Copies of this chain bind each other. A is one copy, B any other.
Amino acid sequence: MNVDVVVYDGFDELDGIGPYEVFDHAFAVDAADAGRVRYVTLDERETVTASHGTRVGVDGALPDPTAANAPDLLVVPGGGWRARNEEASAWAEAQRGDLPDALARYHDADVTIASVCTGSMLLAEAGVTDGRRAVTHASALDELRESGARVVDARVVDDGDLITAGGITSGIDLALYLLEREFGEPTAARVATVLEYERRGDVAGPA
């Protein structure tokens, strides 16, 4: 399972880095040779600056979804949805439209997409969550509902090729759930143990 975490200026650090570290723990040990995880940006960039100021190195540009090196799973972090006057945020990316357009192309190409926090709102902007079961950060639930998604009260919502999570730290639960779904519960449990993390909250499974 090749995983790309698509980052942008203003993404929330833990939204993106939490799932990245969960996947890398799995790929490094249990699921060796089973995958890799990268940070990618829409356009070629050296670094992005996250919402709390962390500068994060970028591993490459997001490939075309039909390219040979396209990921099997695209992770979309949120960040700064309510910071409407910030130029670097999920909200700003939604207004610009290029990232939502890329997400729509990924969805049309049947690539599995997982969002953390207000990453779901970028998917909503892309039309990906329309009529689908989904969740987002508590502060954006009303907007997600108004966008046409079927909001589910859970920490992680599995809707098949669309998996969404609640706010910030729920990205850790999302990634552990995806390990369980793809590699089995023992892999997820082992990584949670190393992280000294107690998985919590409901996972709403496929309908």
Q: Which A positions have Cβ atoms within 8 angstroms of B?
A: 12-14, 17-18, 20-21, 24-25, 28, 39, 47, 49, 52-57, 137-138, 155, 166-170, 172, 193-198, 200
Q: Are B25 and A21 neighbours in the complex by a CB distance under 8 Å?
A: no
Partner of A167, one of B12, B14, B47, B195: B195
- Kindly provide the distance from the CB of A16 to the nearest chain B CB, expressed in whole angstroms: 9
A57 to B55, CA, bound (A): 5
For the complex, would chain A's binding face be called helix, strand, loop or mixed by DSSP majority?
mixed
Identical chains bound together, number? 2
A196 to B20, CA, bound (A): 18
Q: Using A168-B197, A197-B168 as known contacts, say yes or no to A54 and B25 having CB atoms under 8 A apart.
A: no
Chain B contacts for A57, CB-based, 8 A: 47, 49, 54-56
Contact of A196 among B49, B56, B167 (CB under 8 A): B167
A198 to chain B, nearest CB (A): 6
Known: A14-B18, A169-B196. A54 touches B56 (CB 8 A): yes
Q: Can you name 6 A-B residue pairings with CB atoms under 8 Å?
A: A12-B21, A14-B14, A14-B195, A47-B57, A56-B56, A56-B57
Select which of B12, B52, B172 is within 8 A of A169 by beta carbon.
B172
Closest chain-B Cβ to A64's Cβ sits at a distance in Å of: 24
The residue in chain B whose Cβ has the minimal distance to the Cβ of A28 is B52
Considering the chains assembled together, what is the distance between the CA atoms of A12 and B194 in angstroms?
12
